[in-house]
Amino acid sequence: MSTLSWVRGVNATLGWVAPGMIASKMRQAFMTPRELPPREWEMPLLASAERITLRFGLSALRWGQGPTVLLMHGWEGRPTQFASLISALVDSGYTAVAIDGPAHGRSPGREANVMQFARALLEAAAELPPLRAVIGHSMGGASAMLAVQLGLRTETLVTIAAPARILAVLRGFARYVGMPPKARSAFIRQIEQGVGIQASRLDVAHYQLTMPGLIVHAEDDPFVLVGESQLIHDAWFDSRLLRLEQGGHQRVLADPRLIEGVLALLAARAVQARQSA
């Protein structure tokens, strides 16, 4: 029997008689990231980075010189997963700053959530020059959109394989691990108590996104379904939706069309700034 089958069996049984206990265990599992080492192809970029420490011990990597682009990885991700994009940004004359999210890499913490990721972006932005762009992958993209609601200022915004609705993510995890209805409800309540906001409010339909943006999603993404990108696009007037036939959830980060789209967005914004000066 696989570990997942065993977990589902336990949850399905105990979730009826002790929903709060099962919800607590699954909440801890959901909010505690594993530390996954970088791949060999990430090592050259890692070796060339400048390690910096921001407020409250937040760790980040920096490359290049020029206007600043801030990047946030996804759950159990790493800054160097953006290797191809970061190299292109540096070659195009930008400074790339990529954060180790809370409880990831060298940043402090044992548990994390989308709100903590969003606050990390705010803390980083407070110590950096004005941001030309913020780029987020997966939960990093969700946290970037949330951070804008909390006051993050950036000229442009890019989301890659990001969910539009955090409540859908929670429900999907609860079903995946086999929690029965009462345990699912308790799990979501416990998450909301820890985050400090109702999950239903963490929905792009409630957000105000006014800066130019790019939304990138692969149609074969097995973790965040491509339909989420359309929901984000529908809620974001000044956005371009780039749907790729292939790329999954991670490989999309190195797709040349993503890189071209990001650089085109930045170039267009630079032209607008010069025209309005």
Q: What is the pLDDT of residue 75?
A: 97
pTM: 0.96
Q: What is the pLDDT of residue 5?
A: 87
Q: Taking residues 237-254, report their average pLDDT.
A: 97
Q: Is the pLDDT of residue 167 over 60?
A: yes
Phi first, then psi: give them for residue 117, nearest 5 degrees: -60, -45
Partner residues linked to 216 by β-bridges: 160, 242
Which is nearest to 114 in space by CA: 204, 228, 35?
204
pLDDT tens figures, 126-160: 999 999 999 999 999 999 999 999 999 999 999 99
Q: With 0-12 CB in 10 A as exposed, 13-18 as middle and 19+ as buried, what is 96?
A: buried
Residues of the chain above pLDDT 90, percent: 89
Q: What is the pLDDT of residue 24?
A: 95
pLDDT tens figures, 190-222: 999 999 999 999 999 999 999 999 999 999 999
Partner residues linked to 133 by β-bridges: 69, 156
Q: Taking residues 13-25, report their average pLDDT.
A: 89
Mean pLDDT, the chain, rounded, equals 95
**Does the CA dihedral 98-103-104-107 come out positive or negative?**
positive
pLDDT tens figures, 257-271: 999 999 999 999 888
Q: What is the pLDDT of residue 277?
A: 67
Annotation: CATH topology of 42-164+202-270: Rossmann fold (3.40.50)
Q: How far is 144 from 139, CA to CA, in rounded Å?
A: 8
Residues 6+ apart with CB under 8 A from 161: 74, 137, 138, 141, 216, 217, 218, 221, 223, 224, 249, 252
- How many residues make up the chain in this entry? 277
Check: CB of residue 48 under 8 Å from CB of residue 63: yes
Pairing label, strands 95-99, 59-63: antiparallel
Q: Is the pLDDT of residue 15 over 90?
A: no
* Domain assignments of the chain as residue spans, ordered by start: 1-30+166-190, 42-164+202-270
Give, in order, the Cα–Cα distances in Å from 136 to each of 32, 58, 72, 88, 228: 20, 17, 5, 16, 15
**Does the CA dihedral 269-270-276-277 come out positive or negative?**
positive
Check: CB of residue 18 under 8 Å from CB of residue 187: no
Check: CB of residue 133 under 8 Å from CB of residue 156: yes
